[in-house]
A and B are shown apart, each in its own frame.
Chain A
Amino acid sequence: MTVLEQRGAYHPSPPPAWQPRTDPAPLLPDAEPHRVLGTDAAESADPALMRRLYAELVRGRRYNAQATALTKQGRLAVYPSSTGQEACEVAAALVLQERDWLFPSYRDTLAAVARGLDPVQALTLLRGDWHTGYDPREHRVAPLSTPLATQLPHAVGLAHAARLKGDDVVALALVGDGGTSEGDFHEALNFAAVWQAPVVFLVQNNGFAISVPLAKQTAAPSLAHKAVGYGMPGRLVDGNDAVAVHQVLTDAVRRAREGGGPTLVEAITYRLDAHTNADDATRYRAADEVDAWRAHDPITLLERELTGRGLLDEAGIEAARADAEAMAADLRARMNQDPALDPMDLFTHVYAEPTPQLREQRDQLRAELAAEREGDSR
């Protein structure tokens, strides 16, 4: 009996208006994650897209390294690296049309940058000069969400609003494996399915929520299985196979855009770096586990495919690296400038009009700053 058929049996006596789900898409994920690289399916993948993904992966890896280095120089308060997960980040950015929206979590700076955000602006949250350094409407990238899973209902609401307006806009929301345990994850998936909102949820299952392994997070056979209970398809994909992630997300986005409703995609990947630069990953995982995943590195997988088929040569690899190096140099140079901060901004964006209480406090700070300057000039 299929899952769809089971649904009919589960209601004791279905009222006449009750209809079994007729969406032909099966809800249960395949037992094996979708893979393209290293299989026959790679033959039919678009070479231009593969080269584009490759260039972005190399840039992304370099970006992660550069941002991590900036923490050591005290230029960033903290950096949650997505090294090892770049395929998910890049695919998430590239499957979207300009009018679509991305809802990232704190680890997804790279997805925002791959979508076209200025790398420096994307880092303000982590640098500490402002929470969100960009206008979310300009790039259709929501602020990076620090509280886990809370961005997911936002994605649903936005997609729902867009559909009400008649716009064929899709929202893609990113969440970690740990975040799937939060109540907001459940509420968002349920709303999305009930409203048939054009949303795609991408879980980057990187094995750990800080130190807690997946087995202590869930007893479900996979995170993609969770989709079934909401009435949406669940999809499993090899999160280190950039082409496969791109394909699965493209399907899900198309389905959402055509009115087919939401999809939950679980990408199985691995965080090669520690949770953040402040974390010691050796306390909770073994070196050989990390080594095994290094052998399944997203850049290696794609590079092997491209070079093996003569779509990329030494010169091409060099060019990608040089491009990434230039990006990193620019990022370094600009991040090494001290940001210009105006303390009076503290009061500027709390309300459209500051309350009388805030106006008083603003005057107080202004006087303190004037006194400080006075003291300095003596």
Chain B
Amino acid sequence: MTTVAVKPATMAQALTRAMRDAMASDPTVHVLGEDVGTLGGVFRVTDGLAKEFGEDRCTDTPLAEAGILGAAVGMAMYGLRPVVEMQFDAFAYPAFEQLVSHVAKMRNRTRGAMPLPITVRVPYGGGIGGVEHHSDSSEAYYMATPGLHVVTPATVADAYGLLRAAIASDDPVVVLEPKRLYWSKESWNPEEPAPVEPLGRAVVRRPGRSATLITYGPSLPVCLEAAEAARAEGWDLEVVDLRSLTPFDDETVCASVRRTGRAVVVHESGGFGGPGGEIAARVTERCFHHLEAPVLRVAGFDIPYPPPMLERHHLPGVDRILDAVGRLQWEAEG
């Protein structure tokens, strides 16, 4: 076997590679969406797939999100594995009815007779200076829908592994792709990608002893940076990357919090009714006696996503995280 040198690769390239490998190994995998063919997607994530596999396998559809996902339902009913691209987070909303009423429920409605192996790829989140409707963090909506798996990669290797696992899953998976990490690079060997793990496993990205930052997707690099900065103040922060929001890896998260006794949940989406509330509640329920302080949340504000020139005030940054970490000195003040 010829080994390809480990080279810098972007998350977008890893996602493309995941689809390409899935399509090559399984003829039932079909990609469809707006501009996914000739153009290769507005983020070029489907680049080259139509050329390599033909327009029947990588299809430019009419501009209609409910139609795309609804058609994918029928395709999956007939034995295909559709991979749907929603062009942007906020343009996936027209397909919500199909997602909630059919995609998420078909296995259940039919008592297991008709599972739908559909992958819905949604570029999400801010930080790219996008105009209105191009920066939403919609994970709470998907998490609130039983029957869906919801995953979000934060590294190049995970982008490949999670998307392969999503396409291989017999259940519908929403893959939230942090669009501001599309161009983040890592050394990565596409010929020997890390083994595809089952969905639902969190990972400790940075071990530490004094508190746990629980995060995912676009906020992971911010948390790692905060952890470095916190060393100066004597904090040794552990950083847990959830990778999967549904199913949720209570085990990894709670093992970490039990070790450190303190936790901060960090994400871009709004805090009220957001994923952090659920995560904080779970951690509190399971680790109450290990906690030295309340579980805190650092989230985006509870506002519609702001215009690009103001987004840096909205997105949780290193300072806001360090601020929360400071507030974990709960018992000292008590």
Contacts and interface: CB of A to CB of B under 8 A. Distances in A.
A160 B102 contact: no
B114 interface: yes
Interface in B237-288: 246-251
A352 B115 contact: yes
A53 B309 CA distance: 68
Nearest to B247: A355
A357 B74 contact: no
B26 to A, nearest CB: 14
Interface stretch (B15-23, B43-51, B60-68): B60-68
Nearest to A156: B71
Given A161-B80, A188-B70, A190-B62, A137 B112 contact: no
Contacts of A150: 70, 97-98, 101-102
A157 B71 contact: yes
B225 interface: no
- For this complex, into which size category does the number of interface residues on chain B fall? 35 or more
B314 to A, nearest CB: 30
B147 A350 contact: yes
Contact of A157 (B70, B107, B115): B70
Given A153-B67, A156-B70, A191-B64, A161 B75 contact: yes
A142 interface: yes
Contacts of B61: 191
Contact of A153 (B74, B107, B113, B248): B74
Interface string B80-123: 10100000000000100110011001111111111100000000
Given A150-B102, A356-B200, A130 B111 contact: yes
A143 B67 contact: no
Nearest to B78: A161
A158 interface: yes
A123 interface: no
* Residue of A131, A171, A186, A350 with most chain B CB atoms under a 10 A cut-off: A350
B73 A137 contact: no
Q: Which of B82, B98, B246 is most buried by chain A, counting CB atoms within 10 A of its CB?
A: B98
Interface string A133-171: 111111000110001001011111111111011000101
A132 interface: yes
A132 B146 contact: no
A351 B62 contact: no
A349 B171 CA distance: 10
Interface in A350-371: 350-352, 355-357
Nearest to A187: B67
Interface in A327-366: 345, 348-352, 355-357
Binding site of A, secondary structure by majority: helix, strand, loop or mixed? helix
Nearest to A124: B111
Contacts of A184: 66-67, 70, 97-98
Contact of B109 (A131, A138, A155, A355): A131
A154 B251 contact: no
Given A157-B72, A161-B79, A190-B64, A143 B200 contact: no
Contacts of B111: 130, 132-133, 345, 348-349
A185 B307 CA distance: 35
Nearest to A131: B109
B6 interface: no
Nearest to A146: B101
A188 to B, nearest CB: 6
A49 interface: no
Interface-centre pick from B69, B78, B105, B115 (highest chain A CB count, 10 A): B78
A186 to B, nearest CB: 8
Given A130-B111, A154-B77, A187 B70 contact: yes
Given A184-B67, A356-B251, A157 B74 contact: yes
A194 interface: yes
A116 interface: no
A156 B74 CA distance: 7
A147 B97 contact: yes
Contacts of A191: 61-62, 64, 67, 71
B74 A154 contact: yes
A159 B78 CA distance: 8
A336 B76 CA distance: 36
Given A349-B112, A352-B115, A154 B62 contact: no
B114 A137 contact: yes
Contacts of B115: 352
Contacts of A348: 111-112
Given A137-B113, A355-B248, A157 B75 contact: yes
A190 B74 contact: no
B110 A136 contact: yes
Contacts of B102: 150, 154
A134 to B, nearest CB: 8
Nearest to B198: A353
A47 interface: no
A153 B71 contact: yes
Nearest to A355: B247
A229 B77 CA distance: 28
B73 A157 contact: yes
A164 B108 contact: no
B200 A355 contact: yes
Interface string A101-133: 000000000000000000000000000001111
A351 B149 contact: yes
Contacts of A134: 113
Contacts of A190: 62, 64, 67
5 contacts: A138-B113, A171-B74, A349-B112, A352-B169, A357-B250
Interface of A: 130-138, 142-143, 147, 150, 152-162, 164-165, 169, 171, 183-184, 186-188, 190-191, 194, 345, 348-352, 355-357
Interface of B: 30, 56, 61-62, 64, 66-67, 69-80, 82, 94, 97-98, 101-102, 105-115, 146-147, 149, 169-171, 200, 246-251
Q: Which 3 A-B pairs have the closest CB atoms?
A: A153-B70, A157-B74, A187-B67
